[in-house]
């Protein structure tokens, strides 16, 4: 690994527990190609090490991982360096698959932002621990992209139509919502997070689920806002087409439905179409098949005007006013 990656990823084994710390706090741990390669090499090296678990955490309280370094992907696309972008996505998706198939449990400690690539690092592991500061989302349609890192596998497998809702709108989940959906498995207060590694090391013969439950505070899941609108989510986002989703949301005439419509209206129409089709097929395919399909899509999507414009508006100029190639779905605005 490069010297930079060695600083941005801290890894060691202590008392039978492997620990990987994401250490790029100023960038909210946005994943670079070097970081992805470094994590992958560490996990590969540890496969022959007798471990009871692997922890993935962050040195920052603001973010577990805010996603991939999409600004660099955009720069590579503008420079015509498609190979660099493809190498990044291919290595990231290989890492996602490695985590899913890892021989010992992978436990992610999610404190702060966890978006896009951050979910790729965490959701494929055995356990996802959230704190009261956790915020999870797949916001890719808002930057002219699509939910990747295996999202076409894990979102369709969430209860009801929750996955379609999250993938299309980029809705942000707090700890209660993350637990309700199953994207998170355990809740531990932020001030108790440092104890997780030692507890796992102290109890190598106990099931990890039991050890994590001992550390858990009172679960906030009863306060899930998503649970309160679950019936409407399932009815609206189970519709077979985007136009029908819109009609059902308009029919509801509730604050939640209005917010969902606004999220769709602000997203890239092309990204919405790609995402809807991708998630609709994902339930019938394995994780590796979904990752392969996503990789194929990245090759064309990162060259589109909507991707270049979406990243510009969100991360470069930060004006939050993308000018999408088409301002509507199917030739008409969503809210018309």
How many Å is the Cα radius of gyration of the chain?
20
Of 8, 18, 40, 68, which is the active-site residue?
68
**CA separation (Å) from 163 to 211, 217, 307?**
29, 27, 22
Confirm whether pTM is higher than 0.85: yes
Q: Which of 140, 177, 232, 309 is flagged as catalytic?
A: 140
Which pLDDT does position 331 carry in this prediction?
45
pLDDT at site 326: 82
Among residues 148, 174, 270, 294, the one annotated as catalytic is 148
Count CA within 13 A, CB hemisphere, residue 49: 17
Close Cβ partners of 239 (under 8 Å, ≥ 6 residues apart): 245, 247, 248
Cβ burial of 180 (10 Å; 0-12, 13-18, 19+) is: buried
The structural domains of the chain, ordered by start, are: 3-316 (3.90.226.10)
Mind listing the pLDDT tens digit for each residue in 235-260? 999 999 999 999 999 999 999 999 99
For the chain, what's the residue count?
Answer: 336
Residue 332: per-residue pLDDT: 43
Sheet containing strand 135-137, strands side by side: 63-65, 113-115, 135-137
198 is catalytic: no
Tokens representing 84? 């660099």
Among candidate residues 180, 332, 151, 306, the one with its CA nearest the CA of residue 250: 332
Q: What is the dihedral of CA 109, 111, 115, 120, to 10 degrees?
A: -10
Spot the catalytic one: 112, 117, 125, 170: 117
How far out from the chain centre does Cα 18 lie?
Answer: 22
3-state secondary structure 89-157: HHHHHHHHHHHHCCCCCEEEEECCEEECHHHHHHCCCCEEEECCCCEEECCHHHHCCCCCCCHHHHCCC
Each residue's pLDDT tens digit, 195-236: 999 999 999 889 999 999 999 988 999 999 999 999 999 999
Q: Is 140 a catalytic residue?
A: yes
10-residue averages of pLDDT along the chain (336 residues): 71 97 96 97 96 97 95 92 92 98 98 98 98 98 98 98 98 98 97 95 93 92 97 98 97 97 97 97 96 96 95 95 81 40
């Amino acid at each position: 690994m490069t010297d930079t990656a060695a600083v941005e990823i801290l890894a060691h084994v202590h008392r039978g527990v492997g620990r990987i710390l994401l250490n790029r706090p100023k960038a909210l741990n946005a994943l670079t190609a070097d970081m992805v390669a470094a994590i992958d090499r560490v996990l590969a090296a540890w496969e022959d090490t007798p471990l009871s678990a692997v922890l993935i955490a962050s040195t920052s309280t603001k973010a577990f991982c805010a996603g991939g370094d999409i600004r660099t992907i955009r720069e590579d696309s503008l420079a015509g360096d498609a190979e660099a972008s493809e190498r990044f996505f291919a290595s990231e998706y290989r890492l996602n698959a490695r985590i899913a198939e890892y021989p010992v449990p992978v436990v992610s400690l999610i404190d702060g932002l966890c978006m896009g690539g951050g979910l790729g690092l965490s959701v494929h592991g055995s356990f996802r621990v959230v704190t009261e500061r956790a915020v999870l989302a797949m916001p890719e349609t808002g930057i002219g992209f699509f939910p990747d890192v295996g999202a076409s596998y894990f979102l369709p497998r969430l209860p009801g139509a929750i996955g379609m809702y999250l993938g299309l709108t980029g809705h942000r989940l707090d700890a209660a919502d993350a637990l309700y959906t199953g994207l998170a498995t355990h809740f531990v207060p932020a001030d108790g997070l440092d104890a997780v590694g030692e507890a796992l090391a102290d109890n190598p013969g106990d099931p990890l689920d039991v050890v994590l439950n001992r550390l858990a505070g009172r679960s906030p899941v009863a306060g899930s806002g998503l649970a309160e609108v679950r019936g409407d989510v399932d009815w609206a986002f189970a519709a077979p087409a985007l136009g029908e989703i819109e009609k059902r949301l308009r029919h509801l005439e509730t604050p939640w439905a209005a917010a969902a419509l606004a999220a769709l209206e602000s997203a890239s129409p092309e990204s919405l179409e790609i995402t809807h089709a991708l998630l609709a097929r994902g339930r019938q395919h394995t994780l590796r098949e979904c990752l392969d399909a996503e990789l194929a899509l990245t090759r064309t999507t990162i060259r589109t005007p909507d991707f270049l414009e979406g990243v510009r508006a969100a991360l470069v100029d930060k004006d939050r006013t993308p000018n999408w190639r088409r301002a509507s779905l199917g030739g008409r605005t969503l809210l018309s």
